[in-house]
């Protein structure tokens, strides 16, 4: 990229000619799609579509994650210049990645939301692409998993979180961001024996048999041991990866609805995510960024980095050659 070309790049979310490559427009200007990818509803030839879900009506504490997708897109402009650090390839160069925009739904008809989201993701999968979703509260993983299970059958779930989100709730129509993985297990969307939760530091007496690497184990054994254990559980099984930003300690991600002390540092999370290359990730999400509770923007920045790492994990097993 020459200096002259860089000086003339602007609003690449709309003006870029293709779906590959880094972006060099001013960080502080332009339309802020995720990583300056092209905004489009055309999924022809697309490998993975980044999409936002501005929904926070399932929370148990503080609202605000409906503003997460917008904030994470803006924060991602800081990363659009370079290949993701620490990887032996550049996912932005090797894959056709687009910003598919946000799911459309009627905020005043909450009961219709789950089906709207499942249909939204189903459309991406039916087009032959994968999805990376930016939330929104963590309930959104449940409607997304329904679409993925339709295509792949029961999945492994790799969940980074302060909470297990497996509290018992047999009302499958109830919308709650603390019970959706209980429902996902009961409905056969995920295989609990081939799943793993990382960073947990809240009490739930019945975790439905899902193996857990709690936050203390991460601190005591370190990222390398954690990754080795994760991979031994997941094997080569098709895996959906979900990252709740409250997996990070509030010192690193204060802008979230249900913060819990004692969590992972951003350094620990980055090492774990980068070493997960080889995991058979078929899709994923990054959720629970709540900008109103973080005036510094640090939480959205962390969320943008997590989402970029998820793209790289997804692409690492799909590179040609």
CA atoms within 13 A on the CB side of 269: 31
Annotated binding site for Mn(2+): 138, 161, 163, 165, 244, 246
Annotated binding site: 138, 161, 163, 165, 244, 246
Please, are residues 303 and 286 in contact by the beta-carbon 8 Å criterion? yes
Close Cβ partners of 198 (under 8 Å, ≥ 6 residues apart): 158, 159, 160, 161, 212, 213, 218, 226, 230, 247, 264, 272
Please, are residues 280 and 239 in contact by the beta-carbon 8 Å criterion? yes
Residue 226 phi/psi, 5-degree rounding, is: -65, -45
Could you tell me the two tokens for 36? 């300056």
Identify the DSSP state of 251.
T
The owner of tokens 């008809």 is 109
**Strand 212-214's sheet: what is its strand order?**
38-39, 97-102, 48-53, 130-135, 281-287, 239-244, 156-160, 196-200, 212-214
Which residues are 190's β-sheet partners?
155
CA 209 to chain centre: 23
């Amino acid at each position: 990229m020459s200096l002259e070309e860089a000086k003339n790049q602007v609003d690449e979310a709309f003006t870029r000619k293709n779906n590959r490559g880094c972006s060099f427009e001013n960080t502080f200007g332009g339309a802020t799609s995720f990583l300056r990818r092209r905004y489009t509803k055309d999924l022809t030839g697309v490998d993975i579509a980044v999409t936002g879900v501005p929904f926070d009506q399932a929370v148990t504490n503080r609202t605000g994650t409906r503003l997460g997708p917008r904030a994470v897109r803006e924060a991602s402009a800081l990363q659009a210049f370079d290949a993701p650090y620490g990887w032996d390839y550049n996912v932005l160069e090797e894959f056709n990645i687009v910003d598919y925009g946000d799911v459309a739904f009627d905020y005043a008809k909450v009961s219709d939301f789950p089906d709207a989201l499942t249909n939204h993701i189903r459309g991406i999968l039916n087009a032959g692409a994968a999805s990376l979703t930016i939330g929104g509260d963590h309930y959104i993983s449940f409607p997304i998993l329904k679409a993925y299970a339709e295509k792949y059958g029961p999945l492994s779930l790799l969940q980074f979180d302060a909470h297990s989100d497996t509290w018992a709730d047999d009302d499958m129509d109830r919308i709650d961001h603390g019970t959706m993985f209980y429902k996902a297990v009961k409905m056969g969307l995920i295989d609990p024996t081939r799943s793993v939760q990382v960073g947990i530091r809240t009490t739930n007496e019945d975790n439905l048999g899902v193996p857990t690497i709690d936050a203390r184990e991460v601190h005591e054994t370190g990222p390398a041991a954690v990754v080795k254990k994760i991979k031994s559980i997941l094997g080569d099984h098709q895996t959906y990866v979900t990252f709740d930003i409250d997996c990070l300690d509030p010192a690193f991600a204060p802008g979230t609805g249900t913060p819990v002390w004692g969590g992972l540092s951003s350094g620990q999370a980055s090492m774990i995510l980068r070493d997960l290359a080889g995991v058979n990730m078929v899709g994923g999400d990054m959720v629970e960024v709540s900008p109103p509770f973080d005036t510094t923007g640090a939480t959205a920045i962390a969320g943008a980095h997590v989402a970029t790492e998820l793209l790289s994990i997804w692409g690492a097993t799909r590179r040609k050659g």
